[in-house]
Structure 1
Amino acid sequence: MAVADFNQIRRSEHLPARIAAQIGKEISEGRIAPGEKLPTEHLLSKTFGVSRSVVREAIAQMRNEGLVETRQGVGAFATDTQHRHSIRIEQDNLADRGSFRSLFQLRLPLEIEAAGLAAVHHTADDLAKLDETLGRMSGADKWTDEGIVADLAFHRQVAAATQNEYFLMFLGFVAERIHLAINAARETAVLEEIVEITIAEHVAIRDAIATGDPVKARDAMRRHLIGAADRVDLKVDVF
């Protein structure tokens, strides 16, 4: 299997991140005022010419960065600057291979631990949401950017299943930047092969979480992350 050239990672574009950057700029430069409600998902999807699921991922990214807050059943609102997170990694910074590897290395302990906690603390609703994202990953759009959106949503849902909001906050932030690796792997390998392998790894994680066994869940997540790193020729330290 061919591995990714890092320049291809830099060239890869991801719709949610691109949309989040555009809306985020409007917020940061004051054209969307603090407390102002963002347009609806439906209107944003029409404006950008993308699906609503792509818009939801963009809003989730902005929420992870503290640019917006969401209110159930109401919508997303721009936050006040004093409430925004100080942590921020621009996509261009990850064009450096060393920086990208460091971020991926951080992902390992966080996601492995999240999988274990999800096995212990998940609810029936959490499993249903994992199944929903898996359905999107393996459906008709699995070859498209929609498949990547579903992939990221799966990892966010694992974080949510820990019942620890800080896992959701930090892993949501990291996952949005790891999409570069997903794009790169898809571009440099046989697409059918890479997608089916990735889906199988996610199914294994879901099934391990469902057993309630944290050791199985951690092992399944570890195997997936090591495989994901290998697919973009990243050598990470695993102990």
Structure 2
Amino acid sequence: MSLDFGQIRRSEHLPARIAAQMAREITDGHILPGSKLPTEHFLASSFGVSRSVVREAIAQLRNEGLVETRQGVGAFATEMKARQTIRIEQDDLHDRASFRDLFHLRMPLEIEAAGLAARHHADSDLVKLDQCLATMMGAEKWTDQGIVADLLFHRIIAAATGNEYFALFVGFIAERISLAINAARAVAALEEIVEVTIAEHVAIRDAIASRDPQRAREAMKKHLLGAAARLDLVLES
């Protein structure tokens, strides 16, 4: 398979597009620091998307340091002094070299995250991973919800390390990789690529559950190399 990187632009993930638009509103000062964002219902209606898509967009903004969420209250634009933003514009990733560089960064982070998650995860983390897999395997696996579950799977592993910096950086990168998932689905036989991806995620989950760090690292490495290959990217490893 040879991927035309123009396909990434055409297949850009809805939450990423919405997050980019909201980020511009925040950084341009149209949404003031400390102010509350509109409700999920209002945003979903305004953008013409589901509330789950809005939640993914807000999660991305949270990973970028532009938004903080308060349980039971809502989402707020962070104060300027509290912002520790890492931002890669979506347009930068339409270049093959830049996209490959992001995958190179992803490799050591997510491989080590899998190893640490194997050591430190709680039973509740496995429950969350299983919930993601259930969505990825269910009727929604062909839809955007399957992609949302895929991204959440990786964020849960990062959180299971017990190291908040893994959660921050892996979460940020995972949102950018949503472009890759959409692009790969667009150019390959959907049934084949979804089933292969599910099998790779099951192997990662089982390795983490076994509390075998090396097995978990190897399973994650196999998945990441496979994901890169599906985008016709050759990684040094």
Structure 1 stretches (4+) deviating beyond 4 angstroms? none
Aligned partner of 1:79: which letter? T
TM-score (norm 2): 0.96
Identity %: 71
TM-score (norm 1): 0.95
- Aligned match of 1:152: 151
Q: CA deviation at 1:227?
A: 0.3
- Aligned match of 2:206: 207
Q: CA deviation at 1:86?
A: 4.0
Alignment of 1:104-143 (within 5 A): 104-143=103-142
Aligned partner of 1:55: which letter? V
Alignment of 1:68-217 (within 5 A): 68-217=67-216
Q: Unaligned regions of 5+ residues in structure 1, if any?
A: none
After superposition, the C-alpha distances for 1:131-173 in whole angstroms (9 at most, x for unaligned) are 1111111221211122111111111111011111100100111
- Aligned match of 2:51: 52
Aligned partner of 1:24: which letter? A
Alignment of 1:216-231 (within 5 A): 216-231=215-230
Alignment size in residue pairs: 237
Q: CA deviation at 1:38?
A: 1.4
- Aligned match of 2:4: 5
**Contact 1:3 1:189 survives alignment (8 Å):** no
Aligned partner of 1:143: which letter? W
Determine the C-alpha separation between the residues in 2 that align with 1:78 and 1:38. Answer: 7
Aligned partner of 1:177: which letter? R
Q: CA deviation at 1:181?
A: 1.2
What is the Cα-based RMSD across aligned positions, in Å? 1.3
**Contact 1:35 1:79 survives alignment (8 Å):** yes
**Contact 1:110 1:167 survives alignment (8 Å):** yes
Aligned partner of 2:148: which letter? V
Aligned partner of 1:179: which letter? S
Aligned partner of 2:219: which letter? A
Q: CA deviation at 1:39?
A: 2.1
Q: Unaligned regions of 5+ residues in structure 2, if any?
A: none
Determine the C-alpha separation between the residues in 2 that align with 1:19 and 1:10. Answer: 14
